[in-house]
Structure 1
Amino acid sequence: MDEQRRRIREDLTGLLRGEVRCDALTVALYSTDASLYQIEPIGVVFPRDPDDVVALVGYAADAGIPLTPRGAGSQVAGGALGSGLIVDFTRHMRQMELLEDGLVWVQAGATLHELNAFLRPFGRYFPPDPANANVTTVGGMLAVDAAGSRSVRVGSTRDHVHRIEMVLASAHAVDFGIELVELNASGHPLPATASDANQDGIAPNGADTVEGHETAAVKRDLLRRLAYLLKAGEPLIERYQPADLVRNVSGYCLRGVLADGQLRMPRLLVGSEGTLGLFTAAVLHSAPLPQHRGIVLLLFGQLEAALRTAQELIPLQPSACDLLDRRLLALGRESDPRWEQIIPKTAEAMLIVEQTGYSTGEARRRIALVVQRAREQNRSIAVAYEAYEFDEVEFVWSLSRRVVPMLSQLPGESRPLPFIEDIAVPPAASHEFLQRVQKVLQKHRVTASFYAHAAAGQIHIRPFLPPPTPDDAPRYESLARDVYQAAFAVGGTVSGEHGNGLARTAFIRSQYGPLYRLFQQVKDLFDPKNVMNPGKIISDDAHLTVRHFRPPIVASPDLIELQLQWTPEDMGRAAAQCNGCAQCRTLQPDQRMCPFFRVDPIEEASPRAKANAMRHLATGALPAALMGSPSLKRLADLCFNCKQCLLECPSGVDIPRLVLEAKAADVAANGLDRTNWVLARAHLMSELACMVPRLANWIVSNPALRWLMERVLGITRQRRFPRFARSSFLRSEARRGNNQRPRSGGRPPVVLFVDYFVNFHAPHVARALIAVLRHHGQEVYVPPGQVVSGMTLLSVGEVRAARRLAETNVRELVELAREGSPIVCPEPTAALCLKLEYPLLLDHPDVQLIADQVVEAGQFLQRLHRQGELQTDFRPLDLEVVYHAPCHLKALNDGTPLYDLLNLIPKLRIRRIECGCSGMGGTFGWRSERFEESLRIGAGLIEELRGGRFDAAASECGACRTQMAQGTDRPIVHPIELLAAAYGVMPNPIGEGKDVRSDGSDRSD
């Protein structure tokens, strides 16, 4: 840390209640957002309250340090980047309160998802719906005047703001709403009186104090001078900010701010991107939840035809009318099998049209009018889908939210780059603009993807280009200039809803001509020292659009030796695949990404942070010495390889692999601590324990010895320990002679690969699976030389030891795989390890050969079902069972097959618990200092088990069953046990002939 950063940190730490971070890693994490740009800040501040913000602004103004506010960092224009101090409101300032008359007070750091979850019990919501609604913050929405698909009906953020609380560049906390301005006889503003000012809430900190009077005077003077500026500029405003442009956030919104002796301050402030002050909170207008919606999908053979039809539908006042091009439709077909049935490959474009009504019947009538009008315009259209139920309507909207980020997954070096993606034009000019911009793209020999809020004239264009470098700057700048000129020619704007930031600020002067000078005067009025997010909206840098591109991926020459099977360039490219979209910051209940971020929503906990750190290492922006450092280890430890980010990331970034590399580097440099060393090698201890099971089970159930284990080994004494089997499964199979390889002839045998938990704690699970497989006429072979998969070693970064286990298993399994034997795993973690982790450890074709044959047990049986070969001679099981899907099963991306098969059993009533990750995280939940955090992650699941009525719980994962035991004393079983019982090949595991503990382990051999 350099001297300037050290001094700033020390100064601010004494002034603020919130945290101040200036270390190299934190600075790196906040040097990018979802844009193409990278600017290293001095540091990051996490204010706890408005008083912190006031103190910070006062300090920054005196020291001349720029301040840049930040929410989720999901903006694609670079508005949240700056060279001074980044002010992150999301860590502490997330409070909200319901007021009277449908108003809600909310702090800047709260997300739109949190706000709507808060409002939902009251039957209300905040109407703007930007595409990143799951993660965007209220402060971010205020900054860019966020809108979304429904803006044509509900408007944008500024249409729903009652008052804004903010800190001015003078370090005064004020709030602005509709402010009265006195006019003289000629209609020009007069200064407001102090009493008028105070009645309008000028000094929320108390007008009777000296500070309150000073703040009132500052606000009064600011309003008076602003009114004079706007009155003088009325002719320019009228000419250059026309009313027919539905969406426009380029520059400052001046139209309609001064009217009828009032200053409508939220109109000006919303969309100002933190350049006029720092927003701390706002009072917003909520609206009743829409009761009835209908939606229809219209397919077209040409993009132009879809856009023309959208223009014809505007008089019908749809609540939304979005256009998707063929590239997005192709991604939609790949994203979900249901879309394959709905969208034909021949479709070139699609309109998603939504209507609302007071009843389902009215919604249906309005959708029928949409279809009728569309067919009058174009008889060749096809109606692909209609929906009126809530879940079905939301399924349709998930298409656009999912596929636009997925564009970055398309093969090739070129990427869909977001730097000219926010153009808006008058809706009536949309078709003309499309023709113009297609000619521009042809001139530059560039293809692009088109996504539009067509009824509002908002057109998102993403050209396919290689990641930009300084050498590419002229090409990118020329393309942007020509595209924007096409927009200006039809009365359009460079930005409709995503903000100006670094990407578009340089073109604002071209759009507005002489009005730009008035923008400068407004900026100077609010921020005379240019401290508030400088370089956004107002800038003299004509080449700002291409000034701060992220550096290209190059191999750092002094990077320490990597531990996995890839080069530094490979690692860098994998990390650079993360575009920073921030979808990994979601708290949506229907997703699991990311368990750590959900319990502590800070940037370091997000998967994006890991990719960011590793990319900085690969480009040399961070020193190679950081690999193996405590700071990188702390970051990597905020991941336990659940792989939900890999499953749900729209760009498919392999964050777990990047984290494994970071952990492995730390182990290579520093070794393991005692606790991780013991936990990672639990299979060695358990092998001994199963030789003396009575002694071992007495030890793990003895409170005094568990206390000693915690003190000496760091293994929590609060967790229920699964009992050791009387003999490990593999050892008992060897004694019984059941691990002899079947003679050749006929179809290849099923190979059973057991992992740690089944082998040492639950051999009955393996036997139940064998019984089910034999019930289907399958020969089963248990290779005697197999060892544990090694996933526990990988979870702590012990790559070398895991590689040795992998080599052993590859030697044991390769010939069987070559002969075509399916390798069936009763534990999803084992299947995942063999399929995904072994290729990272070993560079040999045999590894992929084995991976291709590996299948989780439920998936294997589901295949039999799909082929019509599954036996359905089930006996009834009159049981109420709750089911938890393990993260590693979901990561295999083939559904929940055993859950589906259990639904075939007569009288068995099975219900899924959808509460996210269990929180066990392999060895994570065994560490004493991580035990409480593990419970917090799994709190939803545990609470559901504590309060539920059921006979048993089920899950495929042994670690999950261990965590589930913290919430119930009822039996917890592997689903295969229930299937075996229903086939009559094993006793019912729920209290009939089997002594089953609540954690799923047993006392039998």
Structure 2
Amino acid sequence: MDNTDVSPKIHTDDQTRRLYANDASSYEELPKGVAFPSSTQDIVAIVKQAQKEGESITPRGAGTSLAGQTTGEGIVIDVGRHMNSIQQINSEQQWAQVQPGVIRDSLNRETDQYNLEFGPDTATTNRCMLGGMIGNNSCGIFSIKHKTTREHILEIDAVLSDGSRATFKPLTQQELAKKQKLDTLEGYIYREIISLIRENRDQILEHYPHPDIIRRNTGYALDRLCEMQPFVPDGRKFNMAELLCGSEGTLAMTTSAKVNLVPQDPESVIVVPHFSSIRKALEATSEVVKMDPAAAELVDHIILNATKDNIEQRKNRFFLDGEPHCILIIQFDGNDQQKLIRKAQKMARHLQEQSLSNSAPIITDDKKKERVWNLRKAGLGLLMGLGSEGRTPSFCEDTAVRVSDLPDYIDDFQQILDRHDTNCVFYAHASVGELHLRPQIDLQQPEGIQKMKTMAGEIAELVCSYCGSLSGEHGDGRARAPYIEKVLGSEMMPLLKRVKQIWDTHGIFNYGKITSPKPLEEDLRYSPSYQKPEIDTQFNWRKEDSFGNALELCNGAGVCRKLSDSGGTMCPSYMATKEEKDSTRGRANLFRQLFSGKQQEAFQSEELKDALDLCLSCKACKSECPANVDMARMKAEFTQGWHNKHGISLGERFFAQAAKLYPLANLFPNLSNWIIKQPVVKELLQQFLGIDKRRNLPQFAEETFMDWFNTRPTTNPAAGEEVVLLIDIFTNYHEPHIGKAAVQFLEFYGYKVTVPDFHEVGRPQISKGMLTHAKNILNQNLPKLTSFADRGLPIIGLEPSEILTLRDEYIDLCDDDQLEQAQFVADHSFTFEEFAAEILNKNNQPSSSPKKEKVYIHGHCHTKSLIGNSAIKKLLTRAGFQPIVLDTGCCGMAGSFGYEEDHYDVSMDIGKLRLFPALHNLPEDTTICAPGFSCRHQIMDGTGRTASHPAEILMD
């Protein structure tokens, strides 16, 4: 394709093509190019060009499809990058006009002011887009209440396969007659579809899934058209938009949609019955749906067990009573919470009387309810993070039957599993007869491929026997299209192909999805031909068993693509740029593709180096990613490999080895401070070291902490218990007052403070990918640290990233014969906040303030990811303050990242997303707490506000 003649540009570089080769499914197809249209006119131009040159088009939003709908070998059109405008909200008539790239939660944040919402609530609502929801006819957790996207789409503006435009909406009989007379592709579509339905209506209704099944999305929605006028005189007005819902982008390209908004229910209550078996849970579901719940979701023991090993989801297990085999999460909505509580209690009693459940916690607190649903929504990602042995390909996870049939259906399904000697995860939408069933199969073995194919056929036949739907909401795509015939019958296939031909004569839209599919086993991400990376690394990758396994953790669910408004920290660079290459998923896909192909040579990949450039190594992905992808560690490993061939730049050496330069600068601190402020020096620093001249470098203290500590008079000679206080180079040279405050606090409570003779643990070196240097530091420090731990001494750190390096990277960076020591040291290591909180707790410290002062906390990224903010909240509460943890994400500084010329703008953009606005809104005399050195300096640079370390606040 001649890119110069196409508007918008079709990106055909290898990096972009690799980034769009995967979605959240089992498939991987390298497209010929990727386009990012800004308007309907752009889409029209692309469609006309594709038709002229015989290229296929794959529409794509967030790329969270599970059946392979958004992978294709032609041109991928990403509508999310630019076509993401909410064009109009009409609160009186309760509708909104949106472009296809609008994220569902973003729409609901705007409509919240009117107490309205777009109802369908998938597990991916913080990143999935309305165009994708239309394409898949998405439903989600509350489908028993809101049904499917189809019920909420009023009109669709679309580009047809010849590049013409049309609007599909409800039509009167007279309007329909006019449409059929049009001498255009639109008119042809109306004439032919009406004729097809008229000739085959009885046959369609006979072969399609049972109408009682809310989630029926197999093939094209011809059964829905059969319910409309003119075929049913008192039926709904004829609306082709209902056919486009669930058509997976195979018929037309959505450019805008008018969607229905529904009133929010002000109150809700959650009840969580626990069960000893899946059968009991499903029998209970038949009872539950009689009480009109808004949702009833099944979560089985495999997912519940997976939450134990996920840092983020461990916190959301609070409501579990023991170790249930499975649970139902049931929500009741309404106007009166007391009535809802009574309903929940009545249901719990009824299930107990039926000997189905003996425990059913009721949750009414809004934040706790959110945590319950967050655990449920993490289900898929948790499953895909279980490693290769627990991998569950998504070839049959979307079947739906009537709720009353569900217990027997699952028993029959279990027989198929037993016959093939495999296990299955059971979870999701029990209230509407759909469970996400994901058998554990290793597709990297030839027998695994054969097992999947055989089971897919048997499951399709089972679904047919129950008049069920092969796809409830995730679509047919690549995974289920080959088996539609088994469910709907051979009589229906010519009709489906006819629909495709009517709309898309030349087959340019998402070819091979729904009709004319490739075999199930083609283009799999993992297959017997997959070459597992076997790489020499510096980290040992002990939890994952190998670097190759670590590269396979990402499942494509795209949690890293959520925007800043959705909260959390992952992934700060994507939140700022909204480019796939800056997401954890994008980087992880490049890692896997390149290393599985080039093996050790991939360490020299320019593509990967570019994608990692804006990674802040914040570690948010280690906890917020359901699969626990640790991109910070992967970046460090790659960067070390890059250094091995290309060397280390002067700027990288400066930031990573500042400890060697600081003693020189500190000989004359006032002079050093004057020099680094001079414009000419700033220019030189920018030119030679890449330090952005717009930044103010930290000032050197006139007296270092160590000078003070070693010369001060002993204030507590009778001190009892000894503690070790790690003083990092930033505290020693730049902010010794923080170290002084920490010593004074510890000594006040009777501790004898010992300060080691080193200031580095290797954090800057790890961040810069200088792992051999970091390992040398580890080798020097570990014996000293072990000697402290052997004596039972707590090892306390003031800088979160430094002390947490002992608990995180040291465990994997050390050699096998050092592992026991490293783990022992980690067990004795504490952040200042953790240890100080325990001191106050042990001393039963009362509040000394008659009126509690509010302290606003910006948490450090590594703290949030690895241990959470509970310690700092506990500390400040115990000290008599009222702590308020701000949801400010990443500050954007991330060590040296924000100081670097190439990163300054992105660094500030990240700060502007949430941190800076949150602080600007606080009164001038507010106390701001930020344990991180970089965070405090970013706050000063971005807002002019002073933030304090917890030790300072305690001593003040």
TM-score normalised over the length of structure 2: 0.92
CA drift at 1:527 = 1.4
Pick from 582, 586, 593: which aligns with 1:616? Answer: 593
- 1:441 paired to 2:413: no
The corresponding residue for 1:991 is none
Pick from 751, 771, 795: which aligns with 1:799? Answer: 771
The 2-side partners of 1:233 and 1:570 are apart by 56
The corresponding residue for 2:672 is 696
- 1:810 paired to 2:778: no
- 1:548 paired to 2:524: yes
The corresponding residue for 1:914 is 887
CA contact 1:468–1:549 (8 Å) conserved in 2: no
CA drift at 1:595 = 0.6
- 1:761 paired to 2:728: no
Superposition pairs of residues 538-937 of structure 1, within 5 angstroms:
538-539=515-516, 541=518, 543-545=519-521, 548-551=524-527, 554=531, 562-565=537-540, 570-587=546-563, 589-620=566-597, 625-734=601-710, 749-784=722-757, 786-843=758-815, 844-845=818-819, 846-864=821-839, 868-869=842-843, 872=846, 879-906=853-880, 908-937=881-910
Change (3 A) 1:739 1:624: farther
Pick from 215, 218, 226: which aligns with 1:247? Answer: 215
The 2-side partners of 1:893 and 1:381 are apart by 34
Deviates more, 1:254-263 or 1:236-245: 254-263
Unaligned runs of 5+ in 1: 1-7, 184-188, 198-215, 982-987, 989-1005
Change (3 A) 1:625 1:87: farther
- 1:32 paired to 2:22: yes
The corresponding residue for 2:233 is none
- 1:14 paired to 2:12: no
The 2-side partners of 1:672 and 1:946 are apart by 39
CA drift at 1:574 = 0.4
Q: How many residues align?
A: 935
CA drift at 1:549 = 4.3
Pick from 159, 165, 169: which aligns with 1:167? Answer: 159
The corresponding residue for 1:994 is none
The 2-side partners of 1:269 and 1:808 are apart by 65
The 1-side partners of 2:599 and 2:349 are apart by 63
CA contact 1:943–1:967 (8 Å) conserved in 2: no
CA contact 2:80–2:102 (8 Å) conserved in 1: yes
The 2-side partners of 1:122 and 1:708 are apart by 55
Pick from 52, 62, 80: which aligns with 1:62? Answer: 52
The corresponding residue for 1:992 is none
The 2-side partners of 1:878 and 1:895 are apart by 20
Letter of the 1:902 counterpart: L
The 2-side partners of 1:655 and 1:223 are apart by 50
The 2-side partners of 1:871 and 1:130 are apart by 46
Change (3 A) 1:617 1:301: same
CA drift at 1:964 = 1.0
The 2-side partners of 1:708 and 1:349 are apart by 63
The corresponding residue for 2:229 is 260
Letter of the 1:517 counterpart: P
Pick from 273, 279, 285: which aligns with 1:304? Answer: 279
Deviates more, 1:683-692 or 1:956-965: 683-692
Say what the alpha-carbon RMSD is for the aligned residues.
2.9
The 1-side partners of 2:791 and 2:906 are apart by 45
- 1:313 paired to 2:288: yes
CA drift at 1:28 = 1.8
The corresponding residue for 2:504 is 527
- 1:219 paired to 2:186: yes
**CA deviation digits over 1:393-421, x for unaligned, max 9?**
32332221124422344478232332211
The 1-side partners of 2:387 and 2:513 are apart by 33
Superposition pairs of residues 458-469 of structure 1, within 5 angstroms:
458-469=434-445
CA drift at 1:471 = 4.6
Letter of the 2:243 counterpart: L
The 1-side partners of 2:663 and 2:773 are apart by 17
| SS at 1:972 equivalent | coil
Change (3 A) 1:914 1:428: same
CA contact 1:563–1:665 (8 Å) conserved in 2: no
The corresponding residue for 1:984 is none
- 1:111 paired to 2:103: yes
The 2-side partners of 1:629 and 1:354 are apart by 49
Letter of the 2:51 counterpart: A
**CA deviation digits over 1:555-591, x for unaligned, max 9?**
558x7x6454469992221010111111111225431
Change (3 A) 1:369 1:469: same
Letter of the 2:871 counterpart: P
CA contact 1:301–1:346 (8 Å) conserved in 2: no
Change (3 A) 1:735 1:467: farther
CA drift at 1:669 = 2.5
CA contact 1:249–1:496 (8 Å) conserved in 2: yes
Unaligned runs of 5+ in 2: 231-236
The 1-side partners of 2:276 and 2:527 are apart by 40
The corresponding residue for 2:298 is 323
CA contact 1:945–1:967 (8 Å) conserved in 2: no
CA drift at 1:467 = 4.2
CA drift at 1:359 = 2.8
CA contact 1:776–1:870 (8 Å) conserved in 2: no
CA drift at 1:492 = 1.2
The 2-side partners of 1:902 and 1:919 are apart by 25
The corresponding residue for 2:43 is 53
CA drift at 1:147 = 0.1
Change (3 A) 1:737 1:799: farther
Pick from 472, 476, 484: which aligns with 1:500? Answer: 476
The 2-side partners of 1:545 and 1:426 are apart by 30
The corresponding residue for 1:133 is 125
CA drift at 1:252 = 0.5
CA contact 2:21–2:28 (8 Å) conserved in 1: yes
The 2-side partners of 1:404 and 1:334 are apart by 15
Letter of the 1:531 counterpart: I
| SS at 1:355 equivalent | strand
CA drift at 1:736 = 5.6
CA contact 2:810–2:822 (8 Å) conserved in 1: yes
The 1-side partners of 2:332 and 2:707 are apart by 65
- 1:98 paired to 2:88: yes
CA drift at 1:551 = 4.3
